[in-house]
Structure 1
């Protein structure tokens, strides 16, 4: 019997080896890895995604740009991304900024998008010197500090707090005021919204790293509800993050003023927007430039900060290394972007 078994294995060794290799290939294909892949996303017209109740025909297009991301890839996708000059790989923990989990990270991105829309309205109406209604809605947990014990209590990034121990706390000031008479080690129950759901978490307070204040231990920002006098609507639900802010703002101003800011060109760009019109730095500008180049953009508005030229430096390097066509334009403020567009000669 032993001789027969050995003889059969010798005769079918190639089939057995092929079967093992197929099993290993399938296992490798199905196994997810804790990484995030980055690559060129889209460069899409802003016009169809912003409605103001004012009609405007644009001869060109204002394009907002995105980065394509893919979480938990298999090993073959990771290898391809490592080899490609147009993709990158990062550990999931680094890509999400150390967020508690992917749900927390996605909720944070969704808030960033919503906040970007609110700031776009504020910046646009401020630039046009028109009134706009602003109401405070809560406090976003932007990032938990390393010293914080709130994570153990169930709080996570992207949570929007609007009450403490049953008392309304819709601003950073209200939240801090409620905690000022507490001491380190005390526990409070915070509640609010987590994405589309509600949450409640009991967290232990700490002495904050800077100063003698007592707090929960997170970077925060007040969540605003902005209501414009015009029927402005946004359609960016399929995107995340704040980087379309500048292009949203330009489109709002163009429609409300009845002014074709494109001058017949394809104007791509990126950058966060603050209520005062400051254009903020973003991530992945190299991938956004690749997307803009694919859509034949004539110009690309690049966020620029005199103290941090990282976006501008990477944009210049990307255009040079990949021989991309869009002409780069530095913008630090909304007004600089408007000035550039208004000085363009109409495209023949």
Structure 2
């Protein structure tokens, strides 16, 4: 019995609805996240009554959206769509990327502590306790042998390797094609991978073939606690540092204003560039921020240029402030006249 056209049409429509609303696609949608006070998320054991607020800002992302959500984001000037590969910088998988983001967050907390204690001239204990796999090089054979971005290595062939120097020294005695077994942690679980070595493309050294960074254990003299487990990435570093300084010195750096900002921080107090500053500005504007601290680098004006364009195009209200260092941020805040009312 032949199906009628109305039945076929209804079936096609239902199929289209299912595909549009329920089938995820390998894309990531970006939009304004949050602009929240840092104060409730940082405890130092020192009380501080803030009249205003220091706000850390985030980007909201939605992984594997449906087709309708992608279409809506593409026509919305306050949203953006990227491929999953582009969004994760080519990470092995989403789990690896999320592990890397979690380490970045933890690292930003550590460097916020170091920078804050350095700027107020108080000692702080810092120890190296591992090597993070930041990015696997195209020439590396480690990915297909089980190593992932975000893995933290602290042993090689059963020997301690808590620093980049220790790992490099052990590998230097090897030759290309040799295999080594690295082990450590992947997220909150142990991992082990046996990987072949290569001659590094930028030098004659022998290595596994990944960009690395040091995993730190930082122990401050005060009972500092952070509550940023629902976030990822390093871009709250500057605002964390300012809050720590404010609490430890008893100086309300907000001066009664709502001061948002973003930027990585390193041990020397240098402020680094970040991604998604346009979405962070949108969040700050929504939360009625008076000022926005923008990472500024004379050799790379991308953050500043995009911040100016976003404020102009979307008619946002926060006043932009260039900051290249923690000292510049502190100088600006300390010179603000206390907000009346």
Describe the superposition over 1:87-121 as per-residue Cα deviations: whole angstroms up to 9, x where unpaired: 00011111101000000000000000000000000
The residue aligned with 2:91 is 99
1:20, distance to aligned residue in structure 2 (A): 2.5
With 250-259 and 18-27 compared, the bigger mean Cα shift is at 18-27
Q: Does 1:142 align with 2:144?
A: no
What is the alpha-carbon distance in structure 2 between the residues aligned to residue 60 and residue 240 of structure 1? 25
2 CA distance for matches of 1:294 and 1:210?
Answer: 46
2:248 corresponds to 1:261 = no
Structure 1 residue 32: Cα displacement: 1.2
Residue 210, structure 1, aligned to residue 199, structure 2 = no
Structure 1 position 210, deviation (Å): 1.4
Q: How far apart are the structure 2 equivalents of 1:50 and 1:328?
A: 25
Residues 39-63 of structure 1 deviation map (CA, whole Å, 9 limit, x = unaligned): 0000000000000001100000000
Is 1:295 the counterpart of 2:284? The answer is no
Structure 1 residue 303 displacement after superposition: 0.1
Relative to the length of structure 1, the TM-score reads: 0.96
Q: Distance in 2 between matches of 1:50 and 1:307?
A: 33
Matched residue SS, 1:316: helix
Q: Take 1:60 and 1:222, find their aligned partners in 2: how far apart are those partners? A: 35
The size of the alignment, in residue pairs, is 340
Q: CA deviation at 1:22?
A: 1.5
Q: Which ranges of structure 2 fall in alignment gaps of 5 or more residues?
A: none
Aligned-partner SS, 1:152: helix
Question: Is contact 2:135–2:211 with CA below 8 Å preserved after alignment?
Answer: yes
Structure 1 residue aligned with 2:18: 26
* Aligned twin of 2:264: 272
The residue number in structure 1 matching 2:43 is: 51
In the superposition, the TM-score normalised over structure 2's length comes to: 0.98
Residue of structure 1 aligned with 2:144, choices 149, 152, 162: 152
Which residue, 87, 94, 109 being the options, matches 1:117?
A: 109
Which whole-Å CA distance do the structure 1 matches of 2:16 and 2:295 have between them?
46
In the alignment, which residue of structure 1 is the partner of 2:232? Answer: 240
**Alpha-carbon distance in structure 2 between the residues aligned to 1:155 and 1:28:** 36
In structure 1, C-alpha distance between the alignment counterparts of 2:263 and 2:255, rounded to whole Å: 21
Q: CA deviation at 1:15?
A: 4.6
Alignment partners' CA distance in 1, 2:112 and 2:67:
40
1:77: which partner in 2?
69
Q: In structure 1, what is the Cα distance between the partners aligned to 2:12 and 2:226?
A: 52
- Within 1, Cα distance between the matches of 2:173 and 2:254? 55
CA contact (8 A) 2:19 2:67 kept: no
2:338 matches 1:346? yes
C-alpha separation between the residues in 1 aligned to 2:324 and 2:261? 12
Which residue in 1 is equivalent to 2:157? Answer: 165
Cα distance, 1:28 vs structure 2: 2.6
User: Shift of residue 208 of structure 1?
Assistant: 0.4
Q: Which residue of 2 aligns with 1:87?
A: 79
